[in-house]
Structure 1
Amino acid sequence: METGKSSRRKQCILNAVIAALEESDYSSLTVEDIAARAGVGKSTIYRWWKHKSDLVFEAFREQTASVFDLDFNASLDYNLKQQLLKLSCALNHPVGRALLVVMAEHREAAGEFFRQYLLPRREQTRKLIQQAIGQGEIQADYPFELMLDTLYGPIHYQIIFFNRIPDESYIEALVQLVLHPARTP
């Protein structure tokens, strides 16, 4: 069980990660700099995190803890648009950009992040899709795993390759394009 002091130290370290990434990129991020900013020793950081990539994952989790919550009282369209807008903002933040680098460079860590963080959120979206099917918004026989990949892929593409945050009109068009074939006649 974590003590209040441990919890405060961890928060201080994560704040130091965020501050460091706001000043430079992931390749310049060092545990030494984080420790100095947080006022702790490197051994304190290594007690909780094995690698600087783990710090980035944790900082991203911390920053987006409740950002991607779904509203089961709203439509599938609304929820998907909100998710994609929030994802665009989160990935455009320095911590989000660092996360993209980490996921490309550290495949094993990326897989763990997917299992621990993204998969539970994807499961929530599946529940929302099931609700939309039950309400007659969309057809039950649509390939929803492919639909989710088709929705989230362009967001990463726009940010990574074009260095552009997809705006509301882009996201609106994307959601409509992807959901159109799933709509009930």
Structure 2
Amino acid sequence: MSPHKAPDSSRRSDRSRRAIYDAALALVGEAGYARTTIEGIAARAGVGKQTIYRWWPSKAAVLMEAFIDVGTRAAEEAGDRGGYAIPDTGDLAADLKLVLRATVDELNDPVTEAPMRALAAEGVIDPVLGAQFVEKLLDPQMQLYVTRLRSAQEAGEVRGDIDPRIALELLIAPLTHRWLLRTLPLTHEYADAVVDLTLRGLAAGPAE
């Protein structure tokens, strides 16, 4: 008779966390953030609400971690394909259009749109959550733009006196503004136009 093996608590916890992540994202997408509750997440995930409160202080914290997990897994998958960083083909406009088009697709995706809107709105009310949203979700993505723009400066495509951190906001802010206000459609064509207009201001002159 083989010896009895104790259950692997770490694997059980990981499965529970994953179920909670999936439940939180699904409920926010289906019912909206305001109607999503810890009790609802627990029921959907098949765990006790005490389990959730043991790991997170609020539903906002659950959603934040769930969304970070989505990004982490996407980065790992893209890293395996060698494609998570902004490409550097030598054509800055083409590289930025590729990335901004992917950003448009993400912002328009119902799976990610509802959690992103919820976290952005809650971050305005809760400064701690807002700081975490910037630190854990936004800053790592912004650094990719900084790296690519610095490479363009070294190649002479972008003026040397440009601050890449400010320049990237010229690319990201218009998309975010249109997405938040829902005033006009967020399209690939709009992303391309943002890149073209931005690069006119960033381009190195003949003397450079």
Superposition TM-score tier, normalisation by shorter sequence: 0.7 to 0.9
Matched, 1:73 2:88: yes
Counterpart pick for 1:11 among 6, 14, 18: 18
What amino acid maps onto 1:48 in structure 2? W
Between the aligned partners of 1:172 and 1:36, the Cα distance in structure 2 is 44
Structure of higher RCO (CA pairs closer than 8 Å, 6+ residues apart): 1
What amino acid maps onto 1:81 in structure 2? K
Between the aligned partners of 1:175 and 1:9, the Cα distance in structure 2 is 42
Matched, 1:89 2:105: yes
Unmatched segments (≥5 aa) in structure 2: 1-8, 79-83
Between the aligned partners of 2:105 and 2:152, the Cα distance in structure 1 is 26
Structure 1 residues 24 and 121, CA gap change in structure 2 (3 angstroms): same
Q: TM-score, length-normalised on structure 1?
A: 0.87
Structure 1 residues 4 and 122, CA gap change in structure 2 (3 angstroms): same
- Compare 134-143 and 23-32 and name the one that shifted more: 134-143
Matched, 1:179 2:199: yes
Larger Rg: 2
Superposition deviation, residue 105 in structure 1: 2.5
Counterpart pick for 1:45 among 52, 56, 66: 52
Between the aligned partners of 2:103 and 2:123, the Cα distance in structure 1 is 15
Matched with 1:22 is: 29
The RMSD of aligned alpha carbons is 2.2
Matched, 1:155 2:175: yes
Superposition deviation, residue 58 in structure 1: 1.8
Between the aligned partners of 2:187 and 2:116, the Cα distance in structure 1 is 17
Matched with 1:35 is: 42
Matched, 1:114 2:130: no
Superposition deviation, residue 59 in structure 1: 2.3
Structure 1 residues 28 and 15, CA gap change in structure 2 (3 angstroms): same
Q: TM-score, length-normalised on structure 2?
A: 0.78
- Compare 165-174 and 116-125 and name the one that shifted more: 116-125
What amino acid maps onto 2:162 in structure 1? Y
Between the aligned partners of 1:129 and 1:38, the Cα distance in structure 2 is 42
Superposition deviation, residue 47 in structure 1: 2.1
Contact 2:27/2:41 (<8 A) preserved: yes
Contact 2:119/2:133 (<8 A) preserved: no
Structure 1 residues 72 and 84, CA gap change in structure 2 (3 angstroms): closer
Unmatched segments (≥5 aa) in structure 1: none
Aligned residues: 184
